Structure 1
Amino acid sequence: MTNKNNKYIGYIGTYTKGESKGVYSFTLDTDEAKILDVKLAAELDNPTYVNISKDNRFLYVVKKEGENGGVAAFSIHESGELTSINSQLVAGSSPCHVSVDSKSKVLFSANYHKGEVVSYLLDETGSISPAVSVMKHEGSGPDPRQEKPHTHYAGLTPDENFLAVVELGIDALITYSVGSDGTLTKAKLLPLKGGSGPRHLVFHPNGKYAYIMTEFSSEVVVLTYYPEDGHFTEKQYISTLPEDFAENNQGSAVHISSDGRFVYAGNRGHNSIAVFRVDAFSGELSLVEHVSTEGDWPRDFALDPSEKFIVASNQESGNLVLFSRDDATGRLTLIESDIAVPYPVCVKFLNE
């Protein structure tokens, strides 16, 4: 399902305004270096973030329905087509991030507007239970946009003993322990630079380091992770922007190559991907290059399973962009930038 004749299936989460109607699918042909067969895979409101179970059986997505918001489950067919399983919705805004454990037992969502993280149990069919834990945050930050908590990311640590939650509204990384029944218990809190607006996080494959992308200060924060008790310490802050860029920018996504040698960070405003080399001994970063995303407001991007390519999504210009990736240098080369998808904001491939 993931790789037929060097073709990989991917999914695009969108804002459903303009012509957008939901989750879109596409195929990346790595032999031809082309994105093919972009089509609507599931019709629903504002599926702005999607994630896929490790076994590629299920796709989980944030969902809005009228005045309610929550999460929805879909089964993934061999063809890549989606069939709805169920959803769990409650009154209020929908989440902005969703993730799932490696055994497809527990689902997590982060809600920006509510400032909370939620856990749900999953059954063998992929169906989502009502919420098991709802953890609300408190506080604010120095930036006017930090008037209250704004939870932006919730993902498991590599050992899956803890949930790492990135809190943009209060400039913090909060760690929760995860019970066998999916319940969350607050374990640790790491304050980050005031007004930085931490947004997303990715772990180094060695499990020792993590990288946070900040939205307001446009930096990558390098962290050391301590699995004994789930706490983190700061190692480095490095800008994702050229020194002479003074216009508005908001950091977006952060991803890492599976060999742990390169980190990629998105800039909305500068409209670029910053490429960083990872020091093998310290985990710290040094800039390699900035590459234009050939569009406006690159909200997300993804390395394909072969990691020979990156697909980026420009939210405001409504286009996907395909780059080839040099695995020796980390550098990106533009291949095509005219693949139309309305308001694309999240890119995920089926797992290899």
Structure 2
Amino acid sequence: MKTSDQLVAYVGTYTNGDSKGIYRFQVDPVSGQVDHVKAVAEIGGPTYLTISQNNDYLYSVAKVGEDGGVAAYSINEEHDLTLINHQVEAGSPPCHVSLDESNKYLFTANYHKGTADAFSINENGQLSKALSTVQHEGNGPNEARQEKAHAHFAGITPDGNFLCVVDLGTDKIAMYKVEEGKLSLHKEITVKPGSGPRHIRFHPNGKTAYVNAELSSEVIVFEYDHDNGNLKEIQVLSTLPENFEEESTGGALHLSGDGRFLYASNRGHDSIALFTIDENTGQITLNSFTSTEGSHPRDFSIDPTGQFIFAANKDSNNIVQFSRNQETGELTKTGIELSIPNPVCVKFLNLN
């Protein structure tokens, strides 16, 4: 496993402006200082990334010519990237990519197509052609955004029992069984009509799940049954201030490593909302809002030590660092900021 005394992060971007692809930076875990900011891969549309557990490989959604798919990269000792291969097909690229715990299978969600795909990965990090594709059908009450299925997240549940696919267009969360890369529908859970579920995160205790609803700017809290894959709604809470009436949509959702705090980004209000998690019930309480000091925070990342949050502001071309009080969860701007065009995803190498 590659290690470093510095925290190493990769940045996915939109490439319809000045960005050429994937960028990298390093963070001193003591001072928080950032350096070695550089472009490390030229590729179209790397808007979401994931990294293998051993830090040897990075996978990115990608656009190659008029085709969309996934790209595989090896990570060398200097943390530069070398393309291994990509698997693409006609049409728009996926919007989300993830790995299973064994790093033998990769999963994507495609917003534009309303599909989820499963790929296998060989011992050299190379991607197979898609082993399985599932097509979602349906729509929701928001005619502008829910005219058809829009799969927005595909990830394995922490217990490894199911692939969870969150669909913004149909207001549904689909649970699939995975058998050697083949997907079969096990269960569908319907959420609040018109809410537009985007991503799901599971509490470290494995009993509670949190979904950010993009269209309604809410967090939906569920009890998770790992035996049958069911999600039982127990709470819905807004991610916006009560008096905020301007346009805003939900962005990203992340939990602190200790499971005590939940963070959600708002695109429009341009903030990160902080929630405290009840250790007994898993329910949440809104604590505060922190401006992301930019426009359209599509995603953000908590570094592996839990000391910092990096907010990626797509429309203002900046990534802003915040220190994180690990006792209260509160965020404080450090004054450190990176200039990267259209940043939308920040992923750190894993610690030892």
TM norm structure 1: 0.98
Alignment partner, residue 178 of structure 1 = 178
* 8 Å contact kept, 1:138–1:149: yes
The equivalences for 1:310-329 within 5 A come to 310-329=309-328
Identity %: 51
Spell out, residue by residue over 1:314-345, the C-alpha distance to the aligned partner (whole angstroms, 9 max, x if none). Answer: 00000010000011100000012531000000
Query: Within 2, Cα distance between the matches of 1:279 and 1:3?
Result: 35
Alignment partner, residue 351 of structure 1 = 350
Spell out, residue by residue over 1:99-119, the C-alpha distance to the aligned partner (whole angstroms, 9 max, x if none). Answer: 011211100000000000000
* 8 Å contact kept, 2:321–2:337: no
Query: Within 1, Cα distance between the matches of 2:35 and 2:220?
Result: 35
Alignment partner, residue 137 of structure 1 = 136
1:192 aligns to 2:191 (yes or no): yes
Distance 1:2 1:202, change over 3 A: farther
1:35 aligns to 2:34 (yes or no): yes
Alignment partner, residue 204 of structure 2 = 205
Alignment partner, residue 55 of structure 1 = 54
- 1:30 Cα deviation from its structure 2 partner: 2.1
1:101 aligns to 2:100 (yes or no): yes
Alignment partner, residue 112 of structure 1 = 111
Please identify, of 32-41 and 150-159, the stretch whose mean Cα deviation from structure 2 is larger: 32-41
Number of residue pairs aligned between Structure 1 and Structure 2: 350
Please identify, of 223-232 and 323-332, the stretch whose mean Cα deviation from structure 2 is larger: 223-232
1:164 aligns to 2:160 (yes or no): no
* 8 Å contact kept, 2:119–2:181: yes
Partner-residue secondary structure (3-state), 1:104: coil
Please identify, of 245-254 and 28-37, the stretch whose mean Cα deviation from structure 2 is larger: 28-37
Spell out, residue by residue over 1:169-226, the C-alpha distance to the aligned partner (whole angstroms, 9 max, x if none). Answer: 00011100111x1111101111000000100111101111111111110001111111
Query: Within 1, Cα distance between the matches of 2:130 and 2:10?
Result: 25
Query: Within 1, Cα distance between the matches of 2:61 and 2:335?
Result: 29
What amino acid maps onto 2:217 in structure 1? S
Q: Which runs of 5+ in 1 are unaligned?
A: none
Spell out, residue by residue over 1:89-145, the C-alpha distance to the aligned partner (whole angstroms, 9 max, x if none). Answer: 011110000001121110000000000000001100010001111000000000021
Alignment partner, residue 272 of structure 1 = 271
TM norm structure 2: 0.98
Alignment partner, residue 19 of structure 1 = 18
What amino acid maps onto 1:136 in structure 2? Q
Alignment partner, residue 4 of structure 1 = 4
Query: Within 1, Cα distance between the matches of 2:117 and 2:182?
Result: 9
Query: Within 2, Cα distance between the matches of 1:41 and 1:139?
Result: 39
Distance 1:127 1:215, change over 3 A: same
What amino acid maps onto 2:209 in structure 1? A
Query: Within 1, Cα distance between the matches of 2:236 and 2:51?
Result: 30
What amino acid maps onto 2:286 in structure 1? L
Spell out, residue by residue over 1:212-244, the C-alpha distance to the aligned partner (whole angstroms, 9 max, x if none). Answer: 111110001111111112121111111000001
Query: Within 2, Cα distance between the matches of 1:235 and 1:42?
Result: 43
Spell out, residue by residue over 1:48-73, the C-alpha distance to the aligned partner (whole angstroms, 9 max, x if none). Answer: 00001111111010010121100010
Query: Within 2, Cα distance between the matches of 1:207 and 1:244?
Result: 34
Q: CA RMSD in A?
A: 1.0
* 8 Å contact kept, 1:109–1:119: yes
Alignment partner, residue 150 of structure 1 = 150
Q: Which runs of 5+ in 2 are unaligned?
A: none
Please identify, of 251-260 and 30-39, the stretch whose mean Cα deviation from structure 2 is larger: 30-39
Query: Within 2, Cα distance between the matches of 1:166 and 1:336?
Result: 35
The equivalences for 1:239-278 within 5 A come to 239-278=238-277
* 8 Å contact kept, 1:20–1:342: yes
Query: Within 1, Cα distance between the matches of 2:2 and 2:350?
Result: 7
- 1:2 Cα deviation from its structure 2 partner: 6.5
Partner-residue secondary structure (3-state), 2:22: strand
Alignment partner, residue 80 of structure 2 = 81
* 8 Å contact kept, 2:323–2:331: yes
Query: Within 1, Cα distance between the matches of 2:4 and 2:123?
Result: 26
What amino acid maps onto 2:139 in structure 1? S
Q: Which 4+ residue blocks in structure 1 deviate beyond 6 angstroms?
A: none
1:298 aligns to 2:297 (yes or no): yes
